[in-house]
């Protein structure tokens, strides 16, 4: 096989065979094929597209480029969950204990974040003592014993995707459905769970701006997941406004705890029981997604989900007392309130701007090497259709760095749009695709 010919084939809009796809994925991972040939091919793929079979082959080749996790020793249907990324999205931390409390084993490996906030692993590390690095046997043993463990990704999962993604990032070839699908699904499929629940965001704060784009992406991921032999369901959900009121790391853990206590913001509470319901359904514990949602609500109401979260924290070395005493979290040096100069209803909050503020305040990484200030973040007192009096506080910024906090304050002031009347709210859940 010849790389020039493979590039030319895709350039001319032809379909690549699984063997050709395997050839370039393997060659690039082994550093036998140079960057410049792969970037030319990626651009050809971006413009000419890939069909179902090509996307599946690319996903499989990337998944096979590294280690795959074997969870077969753990009894039951293990269910994984993935979100395409939203501002204030702390649902994994909520749905994992809910699903586990309902008997669905959660054996999850999660990444660190590069962006507005940390990833799930970073957020969990804001809990004093919490360990996210466990030996493989410890991890398996914990899931068998208490039904839940979430750790950092230590295995060499889909190294081809890591290399290809880094190249896409600097060659304007990120936003392509097939490339996004294969990137996400190769990692999910390598992680060993039996079923996958996807939360595909659409709106200003997400990759897919429109519901149509998000539905196409969700549909493609579901197709590829099922074709690869894992039951896959996706929810397409709104991401025009930040999810919940907290954006950051420890502030998001606190909001997750509030939600598990049944006191969370409406949007995050609703999304959590729907996603947990899908996981409970996929895990074979409920006969329908609706029944799963009912079980999820019940797990919160009864306090079982919160207790499971406490067990989970304890098992991984964290201090479970934080559940009832938020002062045990590291406290930020600076807290700055943001007030408005006019009265009215909040018409919209630019989710992306809130994300950038969180990052500027110290809550997110811009480079892989950056350390995150786990106490930094944003809290939104006012959300859509809430009334604000002139001079009232709409949000608060936390952080240790004065300059970062100041920049965040400025951006947040401009992220709020006000109106004299209430606006029509968009439904949070657009559709379920399976």
- Residue 24 CB, shortest distance to a copy of itself, in Å, is 12
Is 194 noted as a catalytic residue in this protein?
no
* Binding to a copy of itself in span 8-67, by CB under 8 A: 8, 11, 34-44, 46-48
Per annotation, catalytic residue among 78, 123, 187, 201: 187
Per annotation, catalytic residue among 90, 123, 168, 230: 168
* Residue 170: CB atoms within 10 Å: 10
Kindly list the strands in the beta sheet with 79-83, ordered across the sheet, starting from the edge strand earlier in the chain. Answer: 79-83, 195-202, 231-238, 429-433
Task: Kindly tell me which residue out of 4, 72, 327, 371 binds a copy of itself, with binding defined by CB under 8 A.
Answer: 4
- Residue 375 CB, shortest distance to a copy of itself, in Å, is 33
| Residue nearer to a copy of itself on the CB measure, 8 or 71 | 8
| Residue nearer to a copy of itself on the CB measure, 41 or 198 | 41
| Residue nearer to a copy of itself on the CB measure, 20 or 125 | 20
- Residue 172 CB, shortest distance to a copy of itself, in Å, is 4
CA-wise closest residue to 243 among 366, 117, 338, 364: 117
- Residue 164 CB, shortest distance to a copy of itself, in Å, is 11
Is 82 noted as a catalytic residue in this protein?
yes
- Residue 52 CB, shortest distance to a copy of itself, in Å, is 22
| Residue nearer to a copy of itself on the CB measure, 171 or 413 | 171
- Residue 46 CB, shortest distance to a copy of itself, in Å, is 6
Are β-strands 377-380 and 416-419 bridged in parallel, bridged antiparallel, or unpaired?
unpaired
Token digits of residue 42 = 């990626």
CB-based contact 132:125 (threshold 8 Å): yes
* Binding to a copy of itself in span 154-183, by CB under 8 A: 167, 170-173
Task: Kindly tell me which residue out of 5, 137, 369, 421 binds a copy of itself, with binding defined by CB under 8 A.
Answer: 5
Instruction: Give the count of residues interacting with a copy of itself (CB under 8 A).
Output: 25
Per annotation, catalytic residue among 80, 89, 122, 161: 161
* Residue 52: CB atoms within 10 Å: 13
Per annotation, catalytic residue among 81, 82, 123, 336: 82
Per annotation, catalytic residue among 183, 215, 357, 407: 183
CB-based contact 286:237 (threshold 8 Å): no
| Residue nearer to a copy of itself on the CB measure, 33 or 184 | 33
Is 52 noted as a catalytic residue in this protein?
no
| Residue nearer to a copy of itself on the CB measure, 163 or 382 | 163
The residues that are catalytic are 82, 161, 168, 183, 187
Residues at the interface with a copy of itself (CB under 8 A): 3-5, 7-8, 11, 34-44, 46-48, 167, 170-173
């Amino acid at each position: 096989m010849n790389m020039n010919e493979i590039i030319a084939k895709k350039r001319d809009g032809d379909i690549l065979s699984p063997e050709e796809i395997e050839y370039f994925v393997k060659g690039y991972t082994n550093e036998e094929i140079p960057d410049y040939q792969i970037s030319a091919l990626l651009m050809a793929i971006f413009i000419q597209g890939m069909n179902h079979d090509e996307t599946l082959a690319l996903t499989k080749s990337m998944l096979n480029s590294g280690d795959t996790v074997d969870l077969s020793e753990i009894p039951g249907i293990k269910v994984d969950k993935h979100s395409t990324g939203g501002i204030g999205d702390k649902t994994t931390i909520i749905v994992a204990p809910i699903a586990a409390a309902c008997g669905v084993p959660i054996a999850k490996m999660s990444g660190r974040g590069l962006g507005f906030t940390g990833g799930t692993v970073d957020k969990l590390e804001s809990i004093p003592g919490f360990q996210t690095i466990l030996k493989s046997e410890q991890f398996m043993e914990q899931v068998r014993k208490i039904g839940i463990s979430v750790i950092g990704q230590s295995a060499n999962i889909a190294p081809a995707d890591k290399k290809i993604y880094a190249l896409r990032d600097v060659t304007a070839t990120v936003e392509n459905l097939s490339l996004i699908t294969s990137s996400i699904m190769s990692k999910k499929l390598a992680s060993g769970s039996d079923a996958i629940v996807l939360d595909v965001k659409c709106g200003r704060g997400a990759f897919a701006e429109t519901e149509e784009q998000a539905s196409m992406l969700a549909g493609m991921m579901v197709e590829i997941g099922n074709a690869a032999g894992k039951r896959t369901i996706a929810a397409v959900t709104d991401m025009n406004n930040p999810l919940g009121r907290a954006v950051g790391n420890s502030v998001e853990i606190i909001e997750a705890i509030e939600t598990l206590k049944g006191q969370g913001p409406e949007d995050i509470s609703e999304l959590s029981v729907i996603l947990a319901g899908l996981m409970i359904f996929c895990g074979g514990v409920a006969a329908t997604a609706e029944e799963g949602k009912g079980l999820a609500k019940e797990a919160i109401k009864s306090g079982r989900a919160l207790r499971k979260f406490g067990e989970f924290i304890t098992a991984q070395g964290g201090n479970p007392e934080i559940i009832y005493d938020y002062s045990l979290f590291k406290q930020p040096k600076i807290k700055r309130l943001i007030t408005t100069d006019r009265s009215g209803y909040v018409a919209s909050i630019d989710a992306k701007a809130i994300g950038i503020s969180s990052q500027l305040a110290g809550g997110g990484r811009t480079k892989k090497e950056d350390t995150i200030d786990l106490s930094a973040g944003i809290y939104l007192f006012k959300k859509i259709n809430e009334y604000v009096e002139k001079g009232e506080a709409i949000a608060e910024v936390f952080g240790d760095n004065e300059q970062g906090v100041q920049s965040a304050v400025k951006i947040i002031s401009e992220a709020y749009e006000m109106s004299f009347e209430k606006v029509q709210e968009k439904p949070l859940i657009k559709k379920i695709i399976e």
